[in-house]
Amino acid sequence: ESVVNRIAAGEVIQRPVSAVKELVENSLDAHSSSVNVVVKDGGLKLIQVSDDGHGIRYEDLPILCERHTTSKLSTFEDLQSIKSMGFRGEALASMTYVGHVTVTTITKGQLHGYRVSYKDGVMEHEPKACAAVKGTQIMVENLFYNMSARRKTLQNSADDYSKIVDLLSRLAIHHTHVSFSCRKFGAARADVHSVGTPSRIDAIRSVYGVSIAQNLMKIEASDDDPSSSVFKMDGLISNFNFVAKKITMVLFINDRLVEWTALKRALEIVYSATLPKASKPFIYMSIVLPPEHVDVNVHPTKREVSLLNQEIIIEKIQSVVESKLRNSND
């Protein structure tokens, strides 16, 4: 049974960055205003995510890392996210089958926090009282220690670390009111550092640099046909003067970072038709849709979405982007 669990867990947590994404999303779900990530050896030795969110109640600790127990937890409020993200209640559980997980947490009004470690879905010992400031710190150590083949395919720690930095960068420019940092263990300097700001351009400047931030144009779209799905989109796109080394498409749907290849391709077409020389745009978009219109696929790590009335939405966004680019060209 434990082999089966381990294999399933290895599907949910495919690389260190998958674990970081799940942990940081949990921190955001807990209404944190600050999320700090520390990584050692590309995440294989250590991933540590600390937040100042609402914490985890003592009575929830025993079942925290059981699979699919999310809805039992008393701190769980966000039923909508189960609906919109499909595959939930698996992440922490999965990490305990492929790594060593230690949780330190304190809830509001408590004098001290608790620390507890988990293995294969269960607590290794009773929660121990400990000093804690605010929120939750989760440490995942020796990820994939029991999956030697996986460890071998993840030898390039620089590559995994850059995936983690990229993830945090994307999250930071969407959740602009939250401050994020990401650093290598022992490093004085953070590789992602954003302070909470109301301005998305400011956030982009501090994460991606001035040259990208100063070349962005605001775009907006919404659905005017009441018979189709109701959506709203707002975003920032690079204008024709800017040529980046590679395309960056940062897409959030209902506040979740997702991949939507069909939209990305559609926008690449618009850029190369409108601005043949500047074919590597920077695109940030946030789309809001009724959650029942969003389907995050079968596979938990594939953040590829499919949407009801995809074509209509894609065409609408394409035409908004195209006219923006043409106008800026005049």
Summarize as ranges the residues that interact with ligand ADP (CB under 6 A). 22, 26-27, 30, 51, 53-56, 64, 70, 73, 75-76, 88-93, 136
Supply φ then ψ for residue 54, to 5 degrees.
-75, -5
Rounded to a whole number of angstroms, the minimum distance from the CB of residue 91 to ligand ADP is 3
Rounded to a whole number of angstroms, the minimum distance from the CB of residue 40 to ligand ADP is 20
* DSSP per-residue letters across 42-83: GGTSEEEEEE-S----GGGGGGTTSTT-GGG-TT---HHHHH
91 binds Mg ion (CB under 5 A): yes
d(CA 36, CA 155): 24
Rounded to a whole number of angstroms, the minimum distance from the CB of residue 155 to Mg ion is 28
Sheet holding 248-253, edge to edge: 216-222, 232-238, 282-288, 248-253, 256-257
d(CA 12, CA 54): 25
Supply φ then ψ for residue 249, to 5 degrees.
-120, 110
- The smaller minimum CB distance to ligand ADP, of residues 42 and 300, is found at 300
Choose among ligand ADP, Mg ion, none what residue 75 binds, the Cβ cut-off being 5 to 8 Å by kind. Answer: ligand ADP
Displacement of CA 78 from its chain's centroid (Å) = 16
8 A C-beta contact, residue 164 and residue 182: yes
187: which strand partners? Answer: none
84 binds Mg ion (CB under 5 A): no
- The smaller minimum CB distance to Mg ion, of residues 93 and 325, is found at 93
- The smaller minimum CB distance to ligand ADP, of residues 82 and 230, is found at 82
Rounded to a whole number of angstroms, the minimum distance from the CB of residue 89 to ligand ADP is 5
Choose among ligand ADP, Mg ion, none what residue 285 binds, the Cβ cut-off being 5 to 8 Å by kind. Answer: none
Rounded to a whole number of angstroms, the minimum distance from the CB of residue 18 to ligand ADP is 11
- The smaller minimum CB distance to ligand ADP, of residues 57 and 264, is found at 57
Choose among ligand ADP, Mg ion, none what residue 291 binds, the Cβ cut-off being 5 to 8 Å by kind. Answer: none
Which residue in 131, 129, 215, 180 sits closest to 20, CA to CA? 180
8 A C-beta contact, residue 105 and residue 55: yes
Choose among ligand ADP, Mg ion, none what residue 160 binds, the Cβ cut-off being 5 to 8 Å by kind. Answer: none
Within 10-69, which residues bind Mg ion (CB under 5 A)?
A: 26
179 binds Mg ion (CB under 5 A): no
d(CA 99, CA 138): 12
Rounded to a whole number of angstroms, the minimum distance from the CB of residue 309 to ligand ADP is 27
Interface residue list for Mg ion (CB under 5 A): 26, 91
